[in-house]
Structure 1
Amino acid sequence: MTGFDLDGLTTFLSRRSDDIVDLVVDHLVVVLISLALAAVIGIGLGIAVRNRRFARSAVITASAVAITIPSLALLALLSPVLGLGWTPTVVALVFYSLLPIVRNTVVGLREVPVSVLEAARGVGMGSARVLLTVQLPIAWPVILAGVRVAAQLTVGIAAIAAYVAGPGLGEYIFKGLSSLGSKNALNYALVGTVAVILLALLLDGIFVLISRFTTSRGLRA
């Protein structure tokens, strides 16, 4: 791989700016789609198993074991079944996002004080209303923290999905690694890597703002 050349990098960026923007948008879109699906599945699972000891342990353990599977291996297994591109990428990202979301949902719901639940039931609230108006709002900061962790995971793993022709910035990273010694090898790898890092920081900042504006003032204090 050739050494770093600032002028060469500037020229590289100016000539490929449109392509880079498209890759950033694709990367962000696939992350957001996967994160939305994982949040629906993960929060739903967390709610379903929160009061069932065996089911809770089984779901969390299965999610923890699943996340130890190397991402390249999972993508290689998915590609013969789901093909290349967006579909295996989304499935893999949802797969890796479930653990922090399920775990934080269970923890957040189970940490709601018993006295608060008893008071809610005492004024005539049913189970569904207690969940929606008491438990979930109180557990929300913990649940959102899990989604925030999942977002960081998906941004990084989405880059690896270029292995199965997945969308996003991984295309540049793989192109740089596969063309070692060429003029733009370092530029491809550097631009792809830095863009992934910046995208991760941007998403994290967005989640900080979401947490601030969707968490009640009493819980923030």
Structure 2
Amino acid sequence: MSFFGYVRDNAQLLTFEFLQYASMVFQCVLAAAIIGMALAIASYRRPWLAALSTGVASVIFTIPSLALFGLMVPVFGLGVTPAVVALTFYALLPIIRNGIVGLSNVDSSMVDAARGMGMGRTAILAKVELPLAWPVVLTGIRVATQLTMGVGAIAAYVSGPGLGDQIFSGLARLGGANSLNAILAGTIGIIILALLFDAAFVLIGRLTTSRGLRV
């Protein structure tokens, strides 16, 4: 069977897995963004805490993906949960690092001016520091999304959802009927999804970043 014939015959399944994969990546990056930015905000003025946060995230990031997914199984079993937890861990490093860098590099004169206008600590963070750091923060989230997109296929190892199942099932029966078609369908689907997510981030950046901060 040709590749396009395989896609046509399995269109419903491939569409379902495509949407599953998109949902998994979105949930993982959203969770990582919330956790990562909370850690960045808590630590960017405390060098020791910033070093600890990025250090722990770096150690997690160096764990081989198959090993990390395997470590999740005794705790969470098979399925969606171990996949989401592992991928969220992987997505933390670029978000934490960029969050700390972006917030730390905000011009101190801008902060002093805001303080001189009577703004409190929370108001300065929300109205001055975060908007000025946003382009760097968004880049970190964008990088985390692409990393999650690539590693997410391995979630099929723990019965995770999405297109990774096409790749793993094809590899498991390599040389059999439609094995290569399944691998190609999963791979191309992930590439298309990565391009769509990246285009969305470009649009978000244009809509949420002031013209003076665009690079």
* Alignment deviations for residues 74-117 of structure 1 (CA, whole Å, 9 cap, x no partner): 11110121011110011011100000000000000011001111
CA-based RMSD of the aligned residues comes to 0.9
The residue aligned with 1:157 is: 151
SS in 2 for 1:168: coil
Letter of the structure 2 residue corresponding to residue 178 of structure 1: A
* Alignment deviations for residues 162-218 of structure 1 (CA, whole Å, 9 cap, x no partner): 000000100000011000111201000011111111111111111011001000122
* Alignment deviations for residues 122-144 of structure 1 (CA, whole Å, 9 cap, x no partner): 01111110000000000001000
Alpha-carbon separation, structure 1, partners of 2:138 and 2:70: 31
Deviation, 1:151, is 0.3
Deviation, 1:156, is 1.1
The gaps in structure 2 that reach 5 residues or longer are: none
The residue aligned with 1:17 is: 11
Letter of the structure 1 residue corresponding to residue 121 of structure 2: S
The residue aligned with 1:212 is: 206
Alpha-carbon separation, structure 1, partners of 2:47 and 2:177: 58
Percent of matched pairs sharing the same residue: 50
1:76 to 70, 84, 98: 70
Q: TM-score, normalised by structure 1?
A: 0.95
SS in 2 for 1:180: coil
Alpha-carbon separation, structure 2, partners of 1:213 and 1:204: 14
Alpha-carbon separation, structure 1, partners of 2:29 and 2:69: 17
Letter of the structure 2 residue corresponding to residue 50 of structure 1: Y
Alpha-carbon separation, structure 2, partners of 1:34 and 1:220: 27
1:148 aligns with 2:142: yes
1:65 aligns with 2:68: no
Alpha-carbon separation, structure 2, partners of 1:210 and 1:10: 33
Q: TM-score, normalised by structure 2?
A: 0.98
1:200 to 194, 198, 213: 194
Q: How many residue pairs are counted as aligned between the two chains?
A: 215
Structure 1 segment 120-135 matched on structure 2, within 5 A: 120-135=114-129
1:180 to 159, 174, 180: 174
Deviation, 1:155, is 0.8
Alpha-carbon separation, structure 1, partners of 2:4 and 2:65: 33
Deviation, 1:220, is 1.6
Alpha-carbon separation, structure 2, partners of 1:180 and 1:137: 50
Alpha-carbon separation, structure 2, partners of 1:11 and 1:100: 40
1:105 aligns with 2:99: yes
The residue aligned with 2:45 is: 51
Letter of the structure 2 residue corresponding to residue 85 of structure 1: G
